[in-house]
Structure 1
Amino acid sequence: MRSIGELARDSGLGVSALRFYDRTGVLVPARVDPVTGYRWYGPAQLGEARLLARLRRTGMPLADVRLVLAGWSGADTELVTELLQAHLRRLERGLSDAREEFSTLRELLAHRENTVPSTRSTTSRLTAPAAELAAALDAVRFAAGTDPELPMLGGVLFDIDGEAVRAVATDRYRMAVARAAATGHEGPAVRITVPTPLVDAMRALLTGAGPARLAVDGDRVTLETEDGQASGRSLDHDFPDYRRLVRLSPGRRALVDAPAFREAVTNGPVRPGETRDQDGGPHDLSVLKVTPDGTVALCDDGDDDPDQVAVNRAFLLDALTAGNQDRLVLELGAPTAPMAIRRPDDEETFSLLMPVRLER
């Protein structure tokens, strides 16, 4: 007999997923302890659980999954084959429809590219305190993308206007925004994406207390400080309009002691291996909720509060470290809404973490 944790480890299904499939009658444990309620699974159920995990990855509807498992256990290969073929035909039809839609989208994008004027010839200059610009880059660098299939995210956006330069980075699953005050701005407002190697070279120069001079000339960006100069070409890709992505409905806010909370997240309960869509592999999850007394609690695996929010634990630790504050404000909305990590005294510097849907 395997415990629910052992079956989760050996099958690739999360503990919460196994509980959900028990409640829905898809994979019922062979035995449930009458005193503790703990679930135990028989030897043959490992194969069923692994099959269930494969069917989940294909996106098969739950009703069909139940029939496949029933046919599998009853050695009804004809039924199983028909169900698999029917699902494959649905996927192929869906793929064909998706290709048609993508073809239309490419035509629409090509039309937009021909009608939107280029800003590659823009010239703009400003001065910012080196320490303030360094802090802004430190606050966002962790969120820069590394996926070669999404080169437009492989850098930090510098959004420059007359009073400030905003640094923005995202890899789709997290986003960070920070602001540094600017003076002496010459030229129009400009948005330019600086590749991460150049960002790192710029950050290495921002060690003094003096001013930093930032210049944009077409697709070339240059930072100059008393310690030297870093210059290079911007990414030849448009960064997403981050301003649309940070419009969040108000959530439940809680002020946390950042060092203590980082330690609690590091050593606290996790739900393992339930996400397969962030950076292409499974990750430990931290599950959070705001308690009635206004504090943030880390939920254990038995907590089924519907308002809890699950996030990638490594991403959460990165965001808490990048916050570089003794106290931070955590803002949790609906379980499907991004979680925000803000500085108490600076609403324009914050991180967002995309939630991970928990299997019930």
Structure 2
Amino acid sequence: MTNPELMPIGAFAKLAGLSASALRFYDDACLLHPEQVDPVTGYRLYSEAQLARASQLRQLREIGMPLAAIGRFFSAGPQEAAQMIDHHVAEVAAEAAGIQRAAATLKASLGEAAHLDLCTLSGPVLAAAIDQIAATTMHNVDIPVLNGVHLESNPDAISLTSTDRYRLATRTLVPNQPSAASWAGTLAADDLRAAASRLRRSPIVTLEANEQTLGLRMVDRTVAHCRLLTEAFPDYKLMVSSLPAVTQRVTVEKKGLLKALEQQAWERIGLRITSGQPSVLLGDRVLELDGNAFGPDLTVWFELTTLYPAIGHTLGNDLMLDLRGADQPATIRSADDGDFTTLAMPCLETS
């Protein structure tokens, strides 16, 4: 005798958002067996308690998880199951990024003859600059251009700029020969990161611009194509030119400052100037820094996730921080080499 509280496959399929044929398939695949099979008619009957598993099964198929992995998913604990989802999504994202790069290369080949040679650079130097600048990008579905690196070429220099709205980083490179033309475009940071390992193995790289990509031609004549983003890059030059005057300047050793920031995982870090002595505030602790400061006493608070990478990617061991008050962007640069500059936004004072 069948249980009257069970529902036939059609009704269950409607509630679960699946088709009856899909339910039969998942039954045969040992992923979702019916609660009961009518011994006379052979009809599959399901319980309301099975809807949660059916819904998860539908969602897992929507993100493309293979059937074999789904079987392991249902036998895993919550933490392992969550890790399986993250691993699968990462694989899909990597595959999609590879397809996008391949498509960009294919499209660029359609008009390969129509490109503009900008300049040549040292491959390892360009790769290092990409590592520095790409660290200030972020994935934001609402503002895709934040995962872009703005490249500007003029006769004397190549500049790379990125921002995640909390930091802004700029690196300037001098080409081996004066640039042939002025050009500007925003490149997909993911494509630049993917090309960096090849750039490190190429002593020289030639930058070739066309309508859809910027090509990086290696010494072996192979080309890595970086997609051009269509969204307008933020007007960072206007922002920089509108900054208030510097009121305090701090010069410290990078190694000592990083060591202080690494001591404990504080969410917020205070940078304090007292009578010309710089120090960092870590909760109730005050650690003096080996350096000097000019200007009135001041304490500025930063999120660790903003300040640490801004410090870590600077050049050399001597840092210069230009401050403009507790609520204005701080400029961070190498004291002896100013071609890599970062702006870091402070946060509200912590209690």
TM-score range, shorter chain: 0.5 to 0.7
CA–CA separation in structure 1 for the residues paired with 2:246 and 2:280 = 19
Q: Work out which of the two has the higher radius of gyration on C-alpha atoms and give 1 or 2.
A: 2
In structure 2, what is the equivalent of residue 161 of structure 1? 154
- In 1, are the aligned partners of 2:268 and 2:350 still within 8 Å (CA)? no
Alignment correspondent of 2:51:
none
| Shift in CA distance, 267/322, structure 1 to aligned 2, threshold 3 Å | same
CA distance in 1, matches of 2:334, 2:158: 18
Aligned twin of 2:166: 173
Shift in alpha-carbon separation, 1:196–1:269, aligned structure 2, 3 A: closer
Rounded Cα–Cα distance in structure 1 between residues aligned with 2:189 and 2:285: 41
Letter in 1 for 2:280: A
Q: Which amino acid aligns with 2:263?
A: N
The equivalences for 1:209-228 within 5 A come to 210-226=203-219, 228=222
2: CA distance, partners of 1:334 / 1:230: 43
Aligned to 1:334: 325
Q: Is the 8 A contact 1:165 1:180 kept in 2?
A: yes
Contact 1:254 1:330 (C-alpha < 8 Å) held by counterparts: yes
Q: Distance in 1 between matches of 2:278 and 2:264?
A: 15
Task: Give aligned pairs, total.
Answer: 226
Matched, 1:346 2:337: yes
- Give structure 2 stretches of 5+ with no counterpart: 1-113, 287-295
Alignment of 1:1-360 (within 5 A): 123-185=116-178, 187-208=180-201, 210-226=203-219, 228-247=222-241, 248=243, 249-267=245-263, 270=266, 284-298=267-281, 300-301=283-284, 307-358=298-349
Q: CA deviation at 1:150?
A: 0.5
> For residues 83-134 of structure 1, what are the alpha-carbon distances to aligned partners after superposition, in whole Å with 9 as ceiling and x for unaligned?
xxxxxxxxxxxxxxxxxxxxxxxxxxxxxxxxxxxxxx98451111223322
1:20 aligned residue: none
Structure 1 counterpart of 2:300, one-letter code: V
Work out which structure has the larger RCO, using CA pairs closer than 8 Å and 6 or more positions apart in sequence. 1
CA RMSD in angstroms comes to 2.6
- Closer, same or farther: CA 163–285 of 1 in aligned 2, 3 Å: same
1:318 deviates by 1.1
1:203 CA drift (Å): 1.5
Give 1:289 deviation, angstroms.
Answer: 1.7
Gap runs ≥5 in structure 1: 1-120, 271-283
Residue 129 of structure 1 contacts residue 181 of structure 1 at CA under 8 Å; is this kept in 2?
A: no
Would the alpha carbon gap of residues 302 and 198 (structure 1) be closer, same or farther in structure 2, given more than 3 Å must change? closer
Looking at structure 1, the residues matched to 335 and 125 of structure 2 have their Cα atoms a distance apart, in angstroms, of 17
The amino acid of 1:168's aligned partner reads: T
Question: What whole-Å deviation, never above 9, does each CA across 1:134-191 have from its counterpart, x for those lacking one?
Answer: 2322221110121111012111111111111111110101111101111445553221
Question: Aligned partners of 1:186 and 1:142: how far apart in 2?
Answer: 26
Distance 1:124 1:296, change over 3 A: farther
Give the aligned residue type for 2:233: F
For the 8 Å contact 1:289–1:332, the answer to whether it is kept is no
Q: 1:209 to 1:215 in 2, by over 3 A?
A: closer
Closer/same/farther in 2, CA of residues 326 and 306 from structure 1, 3 Å limit: closer
In 1, Cα distance between equivalents of 2:214 and 2:284 = 49
Matched residues in 2 for 1:208 and 1:291: separation? Answer: 47
Are the equivalent residues in 2 in contact too, given 1:269–1:286 (CA < 8 A)? no
